[in-house]
């Protein structure tokens, strides 16, 4: 079940984020608690809860159309949870009339394949990180 994230969810969100095999944060301090709290307090941050436990989350920034987070606990992968959370994040951005929906991910990852299957297209890479920059396939550049 998808629901809006709350500040009480922060420990589990951090646990899931820090346990990923790909797209690891080189420096967790780059995503400070205050920033995550801003997203929780504004539209666009969701968790998937199953059996009373948070097993995934997504986040979208309605200020600039960025999908900045999509993570699922490894034990729950392959069940459609990531796709449902991704669709909810995209719906928030559409509802706020973002002119562009975009995201970044490391090349050669499962995430890259996921976004390509979802119809998003890579526009290039970020010079400073080498991450791929994706944009929704339904938009024009």
Q: What's the N-to-C CA distance of the chain in angstroms?
A: 34
Please list, residue by residue across 32-56, b when 16 or more beta carbons sit within 10 angstroms of its beta carbon and e when fewer do.
eeeebeebbeeebbbbbbeeeebbb
Whole-prediction pTM value?
0.90
Can you count the helices (H) and strands (E) in the chain?
A: 4, 7
Instruction: Tell how far CA 47 is from the center of its chain.
Output: 11
pLDDT at 141: 41
| pLDDT, tens digit, 9 for 90 and up, residues 21-73 | 887 777 777 788 888 899 899 889 999 999 899 999 999 999 999 999 999 99
CATH of span 2-99: 3.40.630.30
Task: Looking at the chain, list the stretches that DSSP marks H as alpha helix, in order from N- to C-terminal side.
Answer: 10-18, 33-41, 81-95, 110-117
Confidence band for 120, pLDDT divided at 50, 70 and 90: very high
């Amino acid at each position: 079940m998808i629901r809006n994230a709350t500040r009480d969810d922060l420990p589990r969100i951090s646990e899931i984020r820090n346990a990923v095999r790909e797209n690891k944060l080189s420096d967790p301090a780059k995503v400070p608690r205050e920033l995550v709290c801003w997203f929780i307090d504004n539209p666009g941050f969701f968790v998937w809860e199953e059996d009373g436990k948070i097993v995934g989350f997504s986040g979208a920034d309605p200020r600039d159309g960025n999908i900045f987070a999509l993570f699922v606990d490894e034990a729950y992968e392959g069940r459609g949870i990531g796709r449902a959370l991704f669709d909810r994040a995209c719906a928030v951005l559409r509802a706020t009339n973002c002119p562009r929906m975009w995201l970044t991910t490391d090349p050669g990852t499962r995430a890259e394949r996921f976004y390509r299957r979802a119809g998003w297209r890579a526009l290039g890479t970020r010079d400073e990180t080498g991450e791929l920059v994706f944009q929704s396939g339904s938009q024009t550049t």
